[in-house]
Structure 1
Amino acid sequence: MVARQNLKIYNSNSNQEFEKLLNDNLTNSGIVEHTIVKGTIEKIEDKYITVYCVGAKSSGVIEKSEIPQSELDTVEVGKEIEVYVERTENRNGEIVLSIEKARRARSWKKIKDAFEKKEKVSGVVQNMVKGGYIIEVEKIFAFCPSSQLSDRPIKNASEFIRKPLEFLIIKIDPVRMNVIVSRRAILEEEKNLNKDQVISNYKEKDIIEGRIKAITSYGLFVSIETLDCLLHSSEVSWLKISNLNDMFTVGDTLKCQVLEIDKEAKRMSLSIRSMYPDPFKTVSEKYTIGKEYEVKIIKLTDWGAFAELSEGVSGLIHSSEIKHMQKNVNPKSVFKINDEVKVKLKEVNTEKRKISLSYKDCLPNPIDEFIKKYPIGTVCDAKIVNKKDFGLFLNTGNNEIDIFVHYKQLSFSETSKDLDEYNKNDSVKLKIIDIKDGKVNGSIRALKKDPFSFFESKKEGSVVSVRVVEIQPNAIKVNVGEDRYQTLIKKADIALEKKDCSPSRFAPGDTLDAVIVEISNQTRKVKLSIKEYEKQQQDETLKKYGSTTSGQSLAGVLGAALKKKSTKKKKS
C-alpha cells in the first residue's frame, strides 16, 4: 500500500502548474524542433546510422544516403556530427533527424546572410536550362538568367560550364527556397569602380579609339576601356544617316573625339563629326553642281551606294542614277566597296544636308546612239521580245533599247484583239514615231494605208455605199470603201420610220447606201445615216412628182399619178 502522504494529487485547478512543469522539462532537455544540434554516432549499419543527441529521449536513425559519398569514409562510431531536428518525437516515440537538411539549413543561412548583407558568393555553373543557367551556391542550386551571366552577348555558353564564378544574390524565396543570382551585377559594379579612373585619363577634345558595343536607333554605345560611352546619331556625321546599321557593325573599332565629360554622372559623350569641319561650309567652294568627280564607294545598300568625295564628305548614288535604261538597279551588281568611280554632282541640299550623285550621267546614254541610227520617222525591222495586254516590246537586235508599240498602233481598228496576230520572236516592220525621256514608241499601222483616206474627197451630205459586217442590238457595223473603214450606224439612224429602225432587218453582207452627216479628219471619225439617205430620196421624189405642201404622203402622190395615167390609156 502506497502512503498517501508521498503522493501529490492534481485536480482541474492545477492544469497551469502542470503545463509549466512540462515546458520546463522540454526546455531543459535542449532539443527544439527545426534546429541544428550536435549528435554522436552510436552505430553504423549497411543502410543506416544511429545518432544520439544530448537531451533527447531516444536515438535517431538516419539513412546513409544523406551522407555525401566523399564523406562516407570519415564516418565512424563516436564521431560528432551536426543534424537537423525535424521532430522531437514521432508516433513511435523516436526523434527524427536529418543530415541533409542540416546541411541545407546551414547553407540557406549563409545565402540569407549574403543576400541581406549584399555580399558576393562563389558558385559553379552546372548546366544550361531554358532561359538561363543552374548555379550551385553553398550546395544549393540557384538560377541565373541568361542576361545576368555576362555584361555582353554570350556566343559560346560552354565556356562557363563547370567554371567557378562570383555572383550576387538578387532575390530569394524562403518558402520555396528559390534563389536567383547575377554575375552581371558584379561586373557592372566593378566597371563603376573603374569609371572614375577611366574618366581621369581623358579630357574634352581628346582623340580616342573605342569598340562598338551596341547600335541603337539613337546612336552608338562605344566601350572606352571599361567605360561605355554614347555617341549620339547626330554626332556621327555632318551628313544625314537614315540607319546606323548600314554604316557600322557591333565589334568594329573607330576613332572619335571626347565631346563632353560629366564627372558627377560618370559619363563621356563622344563625336565623330567634330573631328572634321562642316562639309557644307566648304562643299560649295570645292565642288560645282554638274561637274564630274572621282569618288570611292564606302557603303552599299538596297536603294543606292554611298560614295566619298573627300574625307568626311559623302553623297548618295541612288539606284535610279546607276544605269540609263533601268530605274531600280541593285548597287551590289555594279559596285564593290572601295571601288573608285566617276560621278556627276547633281544636287547639294544644305537644309537637309544631302549630296546627290549620278553615275549614269558619266556614261554614254544608249538612247543617244539609238537616235543617231533610228531618228523619228525611220522604218526598221525589229523582233518581238515581249508581249503584254497593252502592246508589244520590240528590239532591233543591235542595242539595248526596246521599242514599244501600243495596240492602237497595230492597225486602224484600234482594238486589243489585234495583239492576237502577233507572237514573241516574230519579226515585223515598224516606224519610229516618238522618242521622249529615254522611251521609244513605234507604229506598225503607220506603214499601212489609212482606210479613212477614202473620205478625203468626201464631205458632209455625200452618199456612200456600205457593206454590213455585224449586227448589234442597237446598231449595225459596216465597212466603207476598198480599205474597209469600219464604223457604226446607230439604231436611230437606220430608217426614216421608227418601226423600221430594227438592226435585225439587215444581215451581214447586205449592201446599203448612207449619207455622211458628220466627218472629222482630226479625230478620224465619221457618222453615217441611212435615215438621212431615205429622207434625201423622199425629198427628191416629192420634188419630182408633187408639192411638199400638199400634205400627201409619198405613197399617195405616186398612187394618184399612176391612176391618172391609167385613165388616159382607157379613154384612148
Structure 2
Amino acid sequence: QISANPWDEAEYRFPVGMKVKGKVVSLKDYGAFVELEDGIEGLIHVSEMSWTERVKHPSKVLEVGAEVECKVLEVDTKNKRISLGLKQLQDNPWDALEVKFPVGTIIEEAEVKSVTDFGVFVDIGMGIDGLIHVSDIAWTKKFNHPSEKYKKGDKVRAVVLGIDKASEKFSLGVKQLERDPWDSIKQRYRIGQSIEGNVTKLTDFGAFVELEEGVEGLIYVSEIADQRIEKPSDVLKVGDNVRTEILSIEPKERRIGLSIKQLNKTEERQAFATYAGDANKKTSMGDLLGDKLKAALKKEE
C-alpha cells in the first residue's frame, strides 16, 4: 500500500493564519525547523521570532526538542515549504507606537544607543529604536559624522517625523524643534546689501563665506576680482574676512550669491555720486556768494 503524500493536504491542514504547535527538530543560522506532523516541517525564520529584538541566532530563543506554538504565515506545497512565525502570536508594539507617539509628538529624553555614519539610533522604550538621520540633526550646520554632536548615552530631545510599520522604521528629528532660519532669510538680508563674513571653504569654482552661524554665501570665482583669476586661492584663504555684496537669495535652494567685484563697483559709483554732489554744492555756494557780493557793491554805488 502506497502511503499518501502528507504535502498533498498541507494547504488545507495548515491554512495561513492558523495557530499550530510543533517540535523544534533543528536550528540553522537563518532559523528553526519545526516538525508539525510526520513528514511536514515548517521554518521559523530569525526575522519572525521577535518584533523588536534582532535575533542573531535562533538558539537565543529556541532549543532543539522544545515544543513551540507559532502561526502559519505561508504554505508552498509545490516546494514543500511552510513559513511560520513566533512574533505574530505577540502584540505588535508598532501598532501601539502609532498611538503613543503620533507624528509631531515631542520626546523629551531619548537615550542614544548607537551612532552610525548616517545617523543616531535612540531608545524610546517599548523595545523600539528611533533613527535621527544625520540630515535631521541641524538646519544649517553640516556634520561630517553624527559623532561630532552625539555619543552613546546622551539624552536627546526630538520630534516624531514618521512611522513606517511595514519597514519597521521610526523617524525622528532634532532640527524640526526649531524654525528653519532660511524661512526668514529675506527678512534679514536683501539683494544689493553689503555684508562682511569669514571665508570658510575654497573650491575651484568659488569661495564660501559664513554670514551667520550655519548660513553661508558663495562668491563665484568670476565675482572675486575685476581681473581674471584662475582659482580663488590665488586671492583668498580660509579665515579671511571679506566684504561682499549680495547678488541673489534663493531660500528653497539655500543659496546666497555674493560678489566682491560688484561691491567695489557699487562703492565706486557711490563715491563718485558723493563727489559730484559735493562739487555741485560748492558751485551753488559760489554762485550764492557772488550774488551777495554784487548786491553789496550796488548798494555802495
Q: Normalising to structure 2: TM-score of the pair?
A: 0.74
Structure 2 SS opposite 1:416? coil
CA contact (8 A) 2:114 2:121 kept: yes
Aligned to 2:258: 529
- Aligned counterpart, 1:420: 148
Q: Matches of 2:146 and 2:44 in 1, distance apart?
A: 43
- Deviation sequence 1:304-334 (CA, Å, 0-9, x none): 1122333332211112211123455422221
Residue deviations 1:445-494 (CA, integer Å, cap 9, x gap): 2223422123254898463634224253643332335x541243232232
Q: Distance in 1 between matches of 2:137 and 2:56?
A: 32
What does residue 519 of structure 1 align with?
A: 250
- One-letter amino acid matched to 1:480: L
- Mapped partners of 2:242, 2:38: distance in 1: 84
Describe the shift of the 1:511–1:453 C-alpha distance in structure 2 as closer, same or farther (beyond 3 A): farther
- Determine whether 1:301 maps to 2:31: no
Query: Which one has the largest radius of gyration?
Result: 1
Secondary structure at 1:301 match in 2: strand
**Percent of residue pairs bearing the same amino acid type:** 20
In structure 1, stretches of 5+ residues that fail to align are 1-204, 206-273, 546-557
Post-superposition, which runs of at least 4 consecutive aligned residues in structure 1 deviate over 6 A? 538-545
Shift of 1:433: 1.4
For residues 507 and 315 of structure 1, the distance between their equivalents in structure 2, rounded to whole angstroms, comes to 65
The 1:356–1:472 alpha-carbon spacing in structure 2 relative to 1, beyond 3 Å, is: same
SS of corresponding position for 1:422: coil
- CA pair 326-488 structure 1, distance change in 2 beyond 3 A: farther
Distance (Å, rounded) in 1 between the aligned partners of 2:82 and 2:190: 63
SS at match of 2:128: coil
Which residue of 2 is the match for residue 494 of structure 1?
A: 224
Cα offset for 1:526?
Answer: 1.0
Q: Which residue matches 1:3?
A: none
Letter in 2 for 1:425: G
Give 1:418 shift. Answer: 5.3
Q: Answer yes or no: is 1:310 the counterpart of 2:37.
A: yes
1:403 aligns with 2:130: yes
| Distance across 2 between alignment mates of 1:540 and 1:316 | 82
SS at match of 1:453: helix
Give the CA RMSD over aligned residues. 3.8
- Residues paired across the two proteins, number: 278
Distance 1:316 1:367 in 2: 24
Q: Which residue identity lines up with residue 334 of structure 1 in the other structure?
A: V
Is the CA contact (8 Å cut-off) linking 1:321 and 1:327 kept in structure 2?
no
Amino acid at match of 2:26: L
Which residue number in structure 1 is paired with residue 298 of structure 2?
A: none
Corresponding residue of 1:365: 92
**TM norm structure 1:** 0.42
Task: Report the alpha carbon displacement of residue 429 of structure 1 after superposing the two structures with TM.
Answer: 0.9
Contact 2:249/2:256 (<8 A) preserved? yes
Change (3 A) 1:501 1:300: closer
Indicate yes or no: 2:172 matched with 1:431: no
Alignment partners' CA distance in 2, 1:395 and 1:456:
39
**CA 1:508–1:453 in 2, change beyond 3 Å: closer, same or farther?**
farther
**Within the alignment, does 1:387 sit opposite 2:118 as a pair?**
no
Q: Does 1:331 align with 2:61?
A: no
Aligned partner of 2:197 in structure 1 is 467
